[in-house]
Amino acid sequence: MLSVVNLSFIIHNSSNMNQLVYLIPLLPLIGFLVNGLLRKSLSKSVIAVIGSGVILASFIISLLLFFQVKNSGEQIINYFNLISIDKLVIPFAFQIDQLSSLFLLIITGIGFLIHVYSAAYMHEETNEHYGRYFAYLNLFVFSMLLLVMGANYVIMFFGWEGVGLCSYLLIGFWFKNNNYNYAAKKAFIMNRIGDLGFLLAVFWIIAKIGTVNYTDVFAAASSFSSTDITGITILLFVGAMGKSAQIPLYTWLPDAMAGPTPVSALIHAATMVTAGIYMIARSNILYSLSEITQHLVAIVGLATALFAATIAIKQNDIKKVLAYSTVSQLGYMFLGLGVGAYTGAVFHVMTHAFFKALLFLGAGSVIHAMHHEQDMRKMGGLKKYLPITHITFLVGCIAISGIPPFSGFFSKDEILAAAYEKNSIYWGIGVATAALTAFYMFRLYATTFLGNFRGTNNQAQHLHESPTAMTIPLIVLAALSIIGGFFNVPEVLGGHSSLHQFLSPALTSEIVHKSAHSTEYMLMGISVAIAVIAIIIAINKFSKKPELQETHGFAKVLENKWYVDELYDNIIVKPLNNLGGFFKNIIERKGIDGMVNGVGKLVNYSARQLRLLQNGLVGGYILFMVLAIIVLIYVWINDNHILSFFYKYF
Amino acid sequence: MPIQYYIVLALVLFCIGIIGVLIRRNAIIIFMCIELMLNAANLLLVAFSKMHNAAATATNSNVGIEGQLFVFFIMVVAAAEVSIGLAIIVMMFRNVHSIDVNFLNRLKN
């Protein structure tokens, strides 16, 4: 009771609230340290309570902060100077505004649900690994919070690198499987490529205006030359490509499925991949100044959305389908960013966080029930064994397909409407992608939950609904997936665009679209109709006879992901490997080793030759002595100084 | 007699000494060659002393014979050296029944 009183007091006292801000990232960090250091001595339940508890506490503070921001606007809290060299001062500061407070809610809220779910999902692990898992999970959330809360690009970069590291640690969580380690390395390296772009952009900004604080950079943005602004935004976008899995750096995300399923949910919904979206939304003032970059962002987003959706159609691994759907949905968000619908993109981040977390956790529940079987072809008919998972998963599928009034519809519609205004081709491809999305999601749904069970008898006997700790997050997320869209009902449907209004101080470059109501109705109608048709086709096609046979022709190309991995392997990995081999065998072995060993050999050889002079014959020694004296006398006579001989000749 | 004659004589004696040391293997001969070199040096000392003496005594009668004094020191040292050297040679002969210095090679191992 006391704590409730305290909290209500805090709400009314904003200065106190500010003192709590640093706790939001600090608590997960403490959780990381405690769970990480004491993982061998704590029991599993204690680990789970600490791990989830710190995130819950962060969530509560974030919630309070959210309402404070809603009432009294943004604020920047300076703690200390991180770097102070000459005129360059980089403070350690948090910027709490509409955008970051919304992200804080998504990260800690979804993060908390995933932690709770993980507590049950990971119960088979030993104590030590259980603690390690929760420590990494907390560190992941910490990094993401740092990324979102930072008031300048450098703090953001810390978080940016932190999530990259944590994704590596978590994807390779089961490190005894070497394939998982490769997947982890792939994720890390792909991310590093993008991070280089981000880093260069930060350097460029520092070189240009000598500060990295958002407020200063955005204030100075209008004075940048067009080359500067385009260069900076494109480099930042390269960073976003890596982190948010866009063409050409998307291949790590599907491979990231090697990690435990809740980790996939965390990466795909709450942390990591939304970082790119956040960064561009945060830099919306910069992006709006560069027409070229905006087009680039929109086109890359659209291409990724379509490309990933085509791959998702033919995947048989339940998590792979979801992974490609994430890539595709991220493409959508970038389309939104590219056409200036920043709110739409952020809104889609939010709704996507709900339903993608739901879908992943649902998939985790299925995998859990199937004893770690991930191949959809060996599932089927799970509807009656896993009722709660089934219902919630269905909700997720409907939401991602964009059927009103589920959340996905509203966010997708907003992006599509903005795309239509910019260019109707964007819209056309967007709708086609939406149809593909609906199709592959319901292919997944029908293959997994409908029809007959196709697994082994052993699996059939052990099919069971997941424990409460796993189903409750599913139910909460399902509820959010249903109602999530109502936070931002567009005017045309009688709403107030609440999210739009809330975010407008942070997203000043938002392009407000003003299509006629009739056009908007038409756009909505078409996209919903196409999605419904796709759903009906998918259910009819796959519930009775799922695709079990080998694929041929074009389908095989899709199943093999357009052979992009092989392409990268051939044009980048192998040449680099060969170059590395060349340097190793020729330059290193022959050249450098040869030089070093050569010096040794020379000394060795000459020593062996000179050794012969010491032959033990006294006469020989005297001869050398006499010769040496003659030389010395000669030198002495000529120069009168013995060292000048050396000065002269050496 | 001009000083050059003494220098040339000393040089010749010294070179004979060196060459003798270098090419002969008989320890006694080597020994004698060393004495030859010492005496070449003595000869030079005496010659230069005599040469400078005439000029030096004109101003100060107490100078000009240091060179000749020095020769006596060298003779004393040489005598001491001879006694030790001959002792070594005798010991050597007792051990190896030869005074060939190349027999000393076996000290190498």
How far apart CA A270 and CA B69 sit, in angstroms, is 106
Residue with tokens 């679209």, as numbered in its chain: A513
**Does the pLDDT at position A305 exceed 50?**
yes
The amino acid occupying position A93 is: A
Q: Which of A618, A622, A626 sits opposite B104 (nearest CB)?
A: A618
A613 part of contact set with chain B, CB < 8 Å: no
* Per-residue pLDDT tens digits for A162-207: 999 999 999 999 988 888 999 899 899 989 999 999 999 999 999 9
* CA torsion through residues A632, A635, A636, A642, sign: negative
User: Residue A612 has which token pair?
Assistant: 């012969």
| Closest among A410, A144, A168 to A279, alpha carbons compared | A144
Give contacts of A618 with chain B, Cβ < 8 Å: 101-102, 104
State whether residue A618 sits within 8 Å of chain B by CB.
Answer: yes
8 A C-beta contact, residue B92 and residue B106: no
Structure tokens at A330: 């991220």
CA distance A641 to chain B (A): 24
Residues of B in contact with A617 (CB under 8 A): 102, 105
User: What are the structure tokens assigned to A192, written together?
Assistant: 């590093």
Q: Per-domain residue ranges for chain A? A: 290-550, 560-611, 613-650
Mean pLDDT of B3-11: 92
Report d(CA A146, CA A165) in Å as an integer. Answer: 14
Q: What is the pLDDT of residues A12-69, one digit of tens each?
A: 444 556 778 888 999 999 999 999 898 888 888 899 999 999 999 999 999 998 888 8
Q: Write out pLDDT tens, residues A53-78.
A: 999 999 999 999 888 888 887 888 88
Q: How confident is the model at residue A9 (pLDDT cuts 50, 70, 90)?
A: very low
Q: Give the tens place of pLDDT for each residue, A439-468.
A: 999 988 988 888 888 877 777 777 888 888
Question: Closest Cα of chain B to A577: distance in Å?
Answer: 57
- Asked if residues A147 and A234 have their Cβ atoms less than 8 Å apart, the reply is no
Say which residues have a Cβ less than 8 Å from residue A360's Cβ, sequence separation at least 6. Answer: A261, A262, A264, A265, A268, A269, A319, A322
* Record: contact A622-B22, CB cut-off 8 A: yes
For all residues of chain A together, what is the average pLDDT? 86
* CA dist., res. A66 & res. A87, Å (int): 34
Complex-level ipTM: 0.72
Indicate the angle between helix axes A153-171 and A178-209, nearest 10 degrees.
170
Chain B nearest-CA distance from A636, in A, is: 18
Q: Token match 């010492």: residue?
A: B38
Give chain B's domains with CATH numbers. 3-108 (1.10.287.3510)
A242: which 2 tokens? 């890596």
Residue B109: other Cβ atoms inside 10 A: 5
Q: Any idea what the Cα angle at residue A245 is, between residues A524 and A416, rounded to 5°?
A: 10
Query: Is the torsion defined by CA of A419, A423, A429, A432 positive or negative?
Result: positive
Whose tokens are 């004296």? That residue is: A629
Q: Cα distance from A600 to chain B (closest Cα, Å)?
A: 28
* Cβ contacts from A onto B, under 8 A: 19
Find, in chain B, the residue whose alpha carbon is nearest to that of A620.
B22
A497 φψ region: left (φ > 0), alpha (ψ -120 to 50), beta (else) = left
Cβ neighbours of A622 in B, within 8 Å? 21-22
pLDDT digits (tens, 9 = 90+) for A97-129: 888 899 999 999 999 999 999 998 888 888 888
Beta bridge partners of A375: A317
The whole-angstrom distance between residue A636's C-alpha and the CA centroid of its chain comes to: 78
The per-residue pLDDT for A76 is 86
Contact status of A596 with chain B (Cβ, < 8 Å): no
